Amino acid sequence: MKLGIIVGTTREGRQTPKQAKWVAKTAANIEGVEVEIIDLADYPMPLFAEAVSPRYNPSRTVDSTAQKYMDKLAEQDAYIFVTPEYNHSIPGVLKNSFDYLDWQMMKKPVGIVSHGTVGGARAAMHLKEIVSEAQAVPMSKFVAFSHMSEAIDEEGTISEEVAANPYGPQGALDGLLEDLKWYSDALAKARNETLVAA
């Protein structure tokens, strides 16, 4: 499974990269998982303003940075979006990145890991709706991490005290990754069978 971990904010002083590193470290310990962190800060896309919906525009011309981001997403088998909560939702830059997509994430599983007020749960629930419109498969499990910036260091290492709680964020992440790997393997097989049949 090629797993893309998307850092969903570009804000100055953001804490989200620490959480993304924690997710990446945990996922890298799973056999058969290849991890890549995809930081939206490396893909400064302009505000989406195409006149026609990306899925219904055969003569579409895409911003070059957005195309690089779309190509990077297309390489992945599964995704985890790591997002803070802004005003009960996701950051505008993350929503903007979804507006550019057409079929890159179709029939691929998506996990969500959030942080912020109430663990970013409201952002996570909103993001599930957006993910479904991308024709992807949102996992029912997600990780809402309260006080994340205090529990994870700059290298993505979670404190021993927090990690020791079997019902805490580490256990939640382990469960999410287990589901994500199962769905990724199953959906990849189905996509390949469809391609062969075509």
Locate the domains of the chain by residue range: 2-45+63-197
CATH topology of domain 2-45+63-197: Rossmann fold (3.40.50)
AA letter at 156: G
Phi and psi angles of residue 129, each rounded to the nearest 5 degrees, phi first: -65, -40
Residue 58, token pair as written in the block: 């055969």
Name the band, by pLDDT with cuts 50, 70 and 90, for residue 186. very high
- Give the whole-angstrom CA distance, residue 110 versus residue 183: 9
- Give the whole-angstrom CA distance, residue 63 versus residue 48: 9
Phi and psi angles of residue 88, each rounded to the nearest 5 degrees, phi first: 70, 20
> Model-level pTM greater than 0.75?
yes
Name the band, by pLDDT with cuts 50, 70 and 90, for residue 193. confident
**More confident call, 166 vs 121:** 121
Q: In this model, does residue 119 exceed pLDDT 90?
A: yes
Kindly state the DSSP code that residue 19 receives in the 8-state scheme.
H
- Dihedral sign for Cα 125, 129, 130, 135, please: positive
CB count, 10 Å around CB of 178? 12
Name the band, by pLDDT with cuts 50, 70 and 90, for residue 130. very high
- Give the whole-angstrom CA distance, residue 26 versus residue 54: 34
pLDDT 10s digits, 83-101 = 999 999 999 999 999 999 9
Q: Could you write out the three-class secondary structure of 25-88?
A: HHHHCCCCCEEEEEEHHHCCCCCCCCCCCHHHCCCCCCCHHHHHHHHHHHCCCEEEEEEECECC
Q: Are strands 143-145 and 2-7 parallel, antiparallel or unpaired?
A: unpaired
- Give the whole-angstrom CA distance, residue 27 versus residue 5: 10
pLDDT 10s digits, 5-60 = 999 999 999 999 999 999 999 999 999 999 999 999 999 999 999 999 999 999 99
